Amino acid sequence: MRQLLSSLSYFSIFFAPFILPIVVWLISNDDYVKKHAKRALFSHVFPVIAAVILIIMAIGAGSFGAVLGYVILFGIIYFGAFIYNVIQGIQVLREYA
């Protein structure tokens, strides 16, 4: 059950990116599950924080090329976070298999 809740925290990027890790983190009594829920929550929040910073930078840039560069950078960050969550979810499931 620990692996399932921990991996669902990562896989929630598909269906409930912020809600499920927060709920699992607050409700669980298991330190292992809490650790993975916190990691998953951070990996879901990180692209949002990056987006805010990149939007501010894009507004201040003033050129189309810089804005396009920030959009591409955000895509790379989001894709990387997405892949990270999938890999971590699979690794957690395989830990005790």
What's the average model confidence in pLDDT over 16-26? 92
Q: How large a percentage of the chain has pLDDT more than 70?
A: 99
What's the average model confidence in pLDDT over 10-24? 93
pLDDT digits (tens, 9 = 90+) for 86-97: 999 999 999 876
pLDDT of residue 97: 63
Q: Where are the domains of the chain?
A: 2-95
pLDDT, mean over the chain:
92
Number of H helices, E strands in the chain: 4, 0
* Torsion-angle region of 39 (φ positive above 0: left; ψ -120 to 50: alpha; else: beta): alpha
